[in-house]
Structure 1
Amino acid sequence: MLSATPRTQINKGPHKAVQSQDALHRIIDESMVAHIGLIQEHGPVVIPMLAWRVDEHIYIHGANNSRLMRHFKQGNPACLTFTLFDGWVLARSAFHHGAHYRSAVVYGNFTAVDSEAEKDRLLNHFIEQIAPGRTADIRLSDPKELAATMVLAMPLTEASVKISNKGVNDDESDLSHPVWAGVMPYRTVVGPLQPAPDLAPGIETPDYSAAYAKHWKDGCRDV
């Protein structure tokens, strides 16, 4: 069950609010891109960043000299949004057109992961989410690379989820209007893999489809 705070109260379209922690996890795991809001000296800024989840924490990473990373390391408050666009709702009237989407908003404060071993584990966990089994084959980060990388963690203790997945909601007076109405789904497709031009001969193409289910190009199907 998600936390209930003044900031997570959904006032616009409250029927779209979802209280499931599992729904929050699924949105974060599928998106992997967070738009992070912060207040700087010249006003508000929103920056897209890669983000991943391990259990009940979100993680971001960047260079030690990153101004944004240093800002959050100091404990300044942050707001992260994750959005998955699923399709257009085409109604018989202009007013009732809309969209299918899944979104999550997370509030909190980041703290730095200081242990080099823990940073290594978390970064490798992210790689495994992207490409299962890959850390067994690649050169892992060396101490110099880990020392140059900052990893920040935020607990999933204050968040809201909103899901829009209903069909057309036309006024009854518009139902006889002679135009097609329905949903135009939007799907993200992953693959096929594109080899690097300098790839050595004889290296087999790996299979990372397990991480993407219906989104994998060879396995797309109607849902």
Structure 2
Amino acid sequence: MSPTARTTPTRGRHRVVTDREQLHALLEDALLAHLGVVVGDHPLVLPVAFGVDLAGPDAGGSLYLHASVAAGWLDRAAGADVCVTVTELDGLVTGRSAFHHSMNYRCAVVVGRARLVTAEDERLRALDLVVDHMVPGRAATLRPSTRKELAATAVLAVPLAEASMKARAGGPGDDPDDVATGTWGGHVPLRWVAGPPVPDADCSTPVPADVLARAAALR
């Protein structure tokens, strides 16, 4: 990656990830993004579902964000510079001092001009990508969206070109004197775990293969 002045980390440089492939892997693993936008006189950070098209029309690929046309922040985000953060928490780091407690993580920060997707073909593809990001292959099994549903749904595209990523792994960086005290130090790995799919109360159809595969991949 080639961070700009806006995406160059100013501390913790030993945790900076420069391989864009690792950014792509994080976007594949993560299920939730947070969009930061200025609304009026205050900033607003919102959780959003997303999809990724590395071959999309935006520089570096397209990060698609799902939104509602009724959202009060949409007009402020479209055409403006926004910040999108994607984080995966991979572990709890328990040091031998409060100072050396930390977390293992992978975090990407993407800054760019948000574009409201208006072309029908691109918007439909983007919405399929958002669905398939949650459950791969799911979009092809669903009925087409209705005009009413599409009229109520907005999609923002953010270029992936201007991005930075940091990651931490392993145990604490304790001082030798603290290690000598015999206090336990280490880390607790964390990962996504999915339970068995739960059918809706009025559903008599067997759980489809795409949902079963997604649940199995998160165990």
Give the share of equivalent positions with the same residue, in percent.
37
Match of 1:145 in 2: 149
> What CA distance in whole angstroms lies between the structure 1 residues aligned with 2:114 and 2:168?
29
Match of 2:23 in 1: 24
**Structure 2, unaligned stretches of length 5 or more?**
55-60
Q: Within 5 A, what are the aligned runs for 1:179-190?
A: 179-190=183-194
What do residues 151-202 of structure 1 show as CA deviations (whole Å, max 9, x unaligned)?
11111110100001132211111222122211111222123111100113xx
Match of 1:129 in 2: 133
- Aligned to 2:109, what secondary structure does the other structure show? strand
Match of 1:79 in 2: 83
**Could you tell me whether the CA contact under 8 Å between 2:39 and 2:73 is conserved in 1?**
no
TM-score, normalised via structure 1 length: 0.87
Match of 1:221 in 2: none
Aligned residue type for 1:114? T
**Structure 1, unaligned stretches of length 5 or more?**
218-223
Aligned residue type for 2:67? G
Relative distance call for 1:212 and 1:78 in structure 2 (3 A) is farther
1:204 maps to which of 198, 203, 206: 206
- Aligned to 1:95, what secondary structure does the other structure show? helix
Q: CA deviation at 1:137?
A: 2.7
Aligned: 1:58 with 2:63: yes
Relative distance call for 1:135 and 1:9 in structure 2 (3 A) is closer
> What CA distance in whole angstroms lies between the structure 2 residues aligned with 1:137 and 1:157?
32
> What CA distance in whole angstroms lies between the structure 2 residues aligned with 1:6 and 1:141?
41
Q: CA deviation at 1:76?
A: 1.2
Aligned: 1:33 with 2:32: yes
- Aligned pairs, how many? 212
What do residues 53-100 of structure 1 show as CA deviations (whole Å, max 9, x unaligned)?
111110112222322222222x11101111111111112222211110
Match of 1:168 in 2: 172
> What CA distance in whole angstroms lies between the structure 2 residues aligned with 1:153 and 1:115?
12
After superposition, the CA RMSD in angstroms is: 1.8
Aligned: 1:102 with 2:101: no
Match of 1:220 in 2: none
What do residues 98-134 of structure 1 show as CA deviations (whole Å, max 9, x unaligned)?
1101101000011122122321122112222222332
**Could you tell me whether the CA contact under 8 Å between 1:116 and 1:147 is conserved in 2?**
no
Match of 2:196 in 1: 192
Relative distance call for 1:213 and 1:4 in structure 2 (3 A) is farther
**Could you tell me whether the CA contact under 8 Å between 2:34 and 2:84 is conserved in 1?**
yes
TM-score, normalised via structure 2 length: 0.88
> What CA distance in whole angstroms lies between the structure 2 residues aligned with 1:211 and 1:14?
35
Deviation >6 Å, runs of 4+: none
2:95 maps to which of 91, 96, 101: 91
